Amino acid sequence: MAQLIVQKLCPRSPVQRLNINGEDVKIAAIVDRIETIARILNNRHYPICVLFDRERRAKTCDQIYVEVECELASRGLNPEQFRVGICDRTIENWILADRSLLLNAYNFTGSAAFEGTQGKPTLKRICERVEQYRETTVGVRLFTSANPQVMYDNSPSFQRFVSRIDFQCSWSERIER
């Protein structure tokens, strides 16, 4: 889903999937994949944005972020060349941060928590009265329709990722930081 979102929001940017994530995947294994992709890109793209889900890992997004930076540095990679985003808990949680989107699209007036919760099942329940939730279609549409300012204001994990974006991006430029 993240790949499709980035391709839609940044159509001229190359996108490589990590193809490795899940609550049991060690951060070192994720960094192995990041390192491989970075070396293949061979400094042709700067910065490299990395986005993955916290899933059910016990560590917080901040702890995982520090671990990723340390792993990158220990492998001789400059952590400053990466913009790491860690969704707390899944990318659907960032969609849930925009309540007005959910109200307009699904007449959802509930007060479901979003950051750090099971975002995908929650979003599926909200959508089911109108349509079946599918990550690659409904999820991408909702994410790209969401108000990035509202997501930024409501989601600390989204805010941390976006605050590191220091390159031209028309979508993130709509956010007042």
Whether residue 55 is found in the same domain as residue 6? yes
- Per-residue confidence (pLDDT) for residue 61, from 0 to 100: 95
- 3-state SS of the chain is CHHHHHHHHCCCCCCCCCCCCCCCCCHHHHHHHHHHHHHHHCCCCCCEEEEEECCCCCCCHHHHHHHHHHHHHHCCCCHHHEEEEEECCCHHHHHHCCHHHHHHHHCCCCCCCCCCCCHHHHHHHHHCCCCCCCHHHHHHHHHHHCCHHHHHHHCHHHHHHHHCCCCCCCCHHHCCC
Whether residue 58 is found in the same domain as residue 123? no
Whether residue 117 is found in the same domain as residue 68? no
Whether residue 45 is found in the same domain as residue 120? no
Whether residue 28 is found in the same domain as residue 85? yes
pTM over the 0.85 mark: yes
Whether residue 61 is found in the same domain as residue 122? no
pLDDT in tens, 52-79: 999 999 999 999 999 999 999 999 999 9
Which residues does the chain have with pLDDT short of 50? none
The parent domain of residue 117 ranges over 93-148
Whether residue 165 is found in the same domain as residue 83? yes
